[in-house]
Amino acid sequence: MKAKKLKTESLAKIYISASFNNTLVNICDSLGGTISWCSSGAVGFKGTRKSTPYAATTAIETAIKKAKEKGVTEVEIYVKGPGPGRDAALRAIKASGVKIALIADVTPIPHNGPRPKKKRRV
């Protein structure tokens, strides 16, 4: 059986999901197909060390190295979530040498939120 040959463009989109427990990185092409992905857990961190900025940096570096091998030179970054890996991830991308075209925060924010607790009666 013949292996599929992926045609990748130089422009890619990086989706970073930074939760309090982990940092997930997904690098996609313009159609949304995954070029490479990584997470703090996949790099080898376990437990509370997964939620550190260093773990996020390592995950980003691994994902970008794989994407560069496939021809990615310019990226758009979409960051989601409140985790500690947000800023560290952006610094790691800047240091990796790819050109950054856009940085956007796509964290979902509720318009009204959940119903509040009932009033306390004493």
Rounded-to-10 torsion of CA 80, 81, 86, 92: -40
Judged on CB neighbours under 10 Å (0-12, 13-18, 19+), 103 is middle
pTM: 0.84
Task: Name the CATH architecture for the domain at 11-105.
Answer: 2-Layer Sandwich (3.30)
| Domain residue ranges of the chain, discontinuous segments joined by + | 11-105
Residue 31, CA distances (Å) to 39, 78, 115 in order: 22, 15, 38
pLDDT tens digits, one per residue of 5-61: 556 578 999 999 999 999 999 999 989 899 999 999 999 999 999 999 999 999 999
pLDDT value, residue 3: 57
